[in-house]
Structure 1
Amino acid sequence: MPEPMNDVDARDQKDAFRRYVQPELEVLLRVARTLTGDAVDAEDLTQETLIRAYRAVGRFDGRHPRAWLLTIMRHTHLNMRRRQRPDTVPDWDAVQTARPAFGASTSRSAEDEVIDQRLHHLLAEAISALDSRYRQVLWLIDVNDLSYAEAAATLGVPVGTVMSRLSRARGRVRRHLGPDILISRRLS
């Protein structure tokens, strides 16, 4: 049986948790949403990650807390997926409710609106056509704004693999969109 922690150790554990884990909550939720594709599952994954991080924070050396937490999340996610059957239909609410990647001005023409709607539809279609390993990297880096190293830690792959997958994902999305939509968007 584990030895009970004394009050000083418990206080140190809480302080370490506040210092290393709490500042990363927003990132953890965004990455969990990307990994699970569902808000409720993302909250469950984040909660389980926080519990595991709290238990392990006493052994954490204090270097690279985000990478440490994302590694815990990746392992937790893999363990949770092993316990359940895979989904057959992905949840694309995030794609459908996301704002277009291009900045919107206050005075928009009808043509701009049509182009943005078409681009939004084509972009969602292009992303959903990607293999899941490319789609995950694209979401982690381009949507959740993680660094290559953080995405690599989350997925448990080398940084070079992340860079390669991201390049391929972006290329496939560009090919799916085609030159017409990109040229018309640049001219407006």
Structure 2
Amino acid sequence: MRGSEPVNDHAATTPDPGRRSSAAAFARYVEPEVPVLYRVALTMAGQPADAEDLVQDTLVRAYRAIDRFDGAHPRAWLLTILRNTHRNRARTRIPALLHDDEDPAGRLDRGGDTRSAEDIVVDAQFEAVVADALAALPTMHRTVVQLVDVDGLTYAEAALALGIPRGTVMSRLHRARARIRTRLVAAGLVPHRSRP
């Protein structure tokens, strides 16, 4: 039996080839998408800690299923897992577009800011009007604005994250942008569109 000991020692130190291929697939398809997953999760969960938990649960599920993933469209696959994980957790919160610790006036006090006082005031007004307009939007419109305009997802990615058709995303985004623009025009911060 002494001759079998080195084989057993070698087997104990050699990683399972299946585990290596799973880890390689995870590194290739999943890890590059983690920042996108976090941004979408933050929109869904509303709080950084909840978003981190949601992404962590999503990554665990993705790792368990990576052997069944065909390698096509990893972002879509992961967003589907994220959406399903979020639904399973039964958390429905309104996305926080301005967090409690972010004061628009506080963000204006930056060292070395070379803008004029007028520019600073106009920027603050613009930011305040946009924040108010976003807060006044229905949740379904506000969420689409957050995913597309703030987080930078494509229409298709936002549709996948929300489980709705791409056309619905486009329609909601159009309506939301129009309402925001109406508020900005009313505040005199953007010009009226002139129609020929």
Structure 1 counterpart of 2:172: 165
Structure with greater contact order relative to length (CA < 8 Å, sep ≥ 6): 1
Post-superposition Cα deviations, 1:5-44, rounded to whole Å, max 9, x if no partner, equal x922111111110000000111111111111111110001
Change in CA separation of 1:155 and 1:59 when aligned onto 2, cut-off 3 Å: same
- The total of aligned residue pairs comes to 171
Change in CA separation of 1:122 and 1:97 when aligned onto 2, cut-off 3 Å: same
Does the Cα contact within 8 Å between 1:152 and 1:159 map onto a contact in 2? yes
Does the Cα contact within 8 Å between 2:37 and 2:79 map onto a contact in 1? yes
Does the Cα contact within 8 Å between 1:24 and 1:66 map onto a contact in 2? yes
Cα deviation, residue 151, structure 1: 0.6
Post-superposition Cα deviations, 1:33-59, rounded to whole Å, max 9, x if no partner, equal 111111110001000010111111111
Partner of residue 189 from structure 2, selected from 169, 181, 184 = 181
Structure 2 counterpart of 1:43: 52
Aligned partner letter, 1:171: A
Q: What pairs up with 1:13-162 in 2 under 5 angstroms?
A: 13-81=22-90, 92-93=98-99, 96=102, 107-162=114-169
Change in CA separation of 1:58 and 1:132 when aligned onto 2, cut-off 3 Å: same
Distance 2:47 2:161 in 1: 17
Aligned partner letter, 2:132: E
Distance 1:49 1:97 in 2: 32
Aligned partner letter, 2:128: H
Distance 2:136 2:153 in 1: 22
Change in CA separation of 1:134 and 1:20 when aligned onto 2, cut-off 3 Å: same
Unaligned runs of 5+ in 2: 1-14, 108-112
Cα deviation, residue 89, structure 1: 9.6
- Tell me the C-alpha RMSD between the 2 structures: 2.6
Unaligned runs of 5+ in 1: 1-5, 101-105
**TM-score, normalised to structure 2's length?**
0.79
Aligned partner letter, 2:138: D
Aligned partner letter, 1:160: G
